[in-house]
Structures are given as C-alpha cells and as structure tokens.
C-alpha cells in the first residue's frame, strides 16, 4: 500500500519549479494521504526517487525513513533545481508484504528500467516471514530474462501475473528513460473491495498542461490548474 508519482516534461527548464512544488506536496501524502478504511494513516515505511535526464538515470535515491523525517529530501530538491530532469518516478511506502529494508524500498531500477507499485500481489509462495516484498518479486520476474524491457514484454509478464494471482491492486508507474508509463488495476473481485474502500484508495490519475504531465495516486494542490483524468482499469498508458 503506497503512493505513486510520475512526471514527464517537454521543457524541463520551464516546468522544473512546478515539479519541485509537486514533490513537496507529494511528500505530505506520507502523513495525510488516503488509506483503506480502518487502516492507520501514513505512508512512512520508506521512500525513493529516480530522475532521468537525456534518457538515462542521473539520480537514484532510496531510504527506509519516512520522507517527512529524511533530511536528504531537501538535498534532493536542491539537486533537482540544477539537474532539471525530464522524467521522475517516486514512491512512498506503506508496508503490506516484506520487511522494511532498502531492498524492498521503491522505485526499483535495472539498467534504464524503473518501476513503482501500489497494492499487494498475493503470491501463494510469499508468507509473512518472507523478507522480500511482493513488489520486488514482480520486478525481479520482469527483469529476469531481458536487459531491455519492451512494452509488449512487460505487458505479457503483467498480464500473466494478475491473471494467475489474487491481488488488491497492481497500480504501477514505470519508465524506460524515454517514456513514462502508468497502469491502474484494482481487483474488482477482491472480497474486501467494498469493506476497505479499495476503489477510493487505489486511485491513479494523470494531470496535464501543455508542457508536462504528472501521474499521481491523489490530486495535490500543485495540480489545481491542470487537466485531470482518472486512468481506466487495466490499460497501459504511454506518455
């Protein structure tokens, strides 16, 4: 259970201040963000961020600290002011499977491919005592056979996973350095869908203006003047 953030721009100089404002608002979701019904508020079990510039990763940072308590957040904002990235993927973690370790902290990255996931994939061979998270297992499955992850290859692994495993949600934001992708997939057949309010929690939307696009689990104040669109279920969006 997490919060997702993605960003892509056509003009990094023009939109960099908006990116910074958005990340500062996104940070607040670690404290005030929506949670399933009856679950304690907070997405404070770690956070991470990846910046791409000229189609390659130029900064990768993860911490098991809450983003609210991590003094390196301000340092990363200072770096963003200078780097002016073209694509950003970020993630706030709320643990459901796997221990609180750097290995389980998202986004994950391999070569140019990075990924952040919101939800729980209920793999039958993962139990409460496993150290690795379900998200890490999915990512390792994706990168296990190929160095370059194409959209069609990812779709095949993704489809096989959700058709053969129970899950709460498989919302994801991912990038290959050239493109930003997003997919929303709330399990409409999950037995606790209505009880826990999954349709209100596992949301994912795009926010656009003429120069840039954001993907986020929730609307934040930085997006007030942007065109919003709720993503359709089980459709892979490419930006």
pLDDT on residue 144: 92
Report strand pairing: 47-53 vs 56-63: antiparallel
pLDDT on residue 125: 82
Query: In this prediction, what percent of the chain has a pLDDT beyond 70?
Result: 99
User: 228 with 207: CB under 8 angstroms?
Assistant: yes
What CATH code would you report for 2-238?
Answer: 3.60.20.10
What gap in Å lies between CA 177 and CA 88, rounded to an integer?
Answer: 9
| pLDDT 10s digits, 153-195 | 999 999 999 999 999 999 999 999 999 999 999 988 887 778 7
For range 141-147, the mean pLDDT: 90
What gap in Å lies between CA 58 and CA 176, rounded to an integer?
Answer: 13
Domain ranges of the chain: 2-238
Query: In this prediction, what percent of the chain has a pLDDT beyond 90?
Result: 81
φ and ψ at residue 174, rounded to 5 degrees: -150, 165
């Amino acid at each position: 259970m997490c919060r997702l953030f993605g960003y892509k721009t056509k003009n990094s100089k023009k939109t960099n201040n908006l990116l910074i404002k958005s990340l500062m608002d996104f940070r607040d979701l670690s404290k005030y963000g929506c949670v399933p019904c009856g679950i304690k508020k907070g997405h404070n079990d770690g956070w991470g961020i990846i910046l791409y510039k000229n189609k390659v990763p130029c900064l990768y940072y993860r911490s098991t600290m809450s983003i609210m308590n991590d003094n390196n957040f301000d340092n990363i904002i200072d770096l963003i002011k200078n780097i002016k990235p073209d694509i950003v993927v970020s993630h706030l973690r709320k643990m459901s499977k796997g221990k609180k370790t750097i290995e389980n902290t998202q986004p994950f990255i391999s070569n140019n491919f990075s990924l952040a996931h919101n939800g729980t994939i209920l793999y039958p061979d993962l139990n409460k005592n496993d150290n690795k998270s379900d998200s890490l297992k999915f990512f390792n499955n994706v990168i296990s056979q190929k160095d370059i992850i194409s959209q069609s290859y990812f779709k095949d692994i993704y489809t096989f996973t959700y058709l053969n495993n129970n899950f709460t949600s498989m919302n994801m934001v991912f990038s290959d350095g050239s493109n930003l992708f997003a997919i929303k997939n709330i399990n409409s057949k999950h037995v606790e869908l209505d009880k826990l309010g999954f349709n209100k929690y596992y949301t994912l939307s795009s926010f656009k203006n003429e120069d840039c696009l954001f993907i986020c689990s929730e609307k934040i104040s930085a997006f007030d003047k942007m065109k919003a669109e709720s993503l359709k279920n089980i459709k892979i969006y490419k930006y």
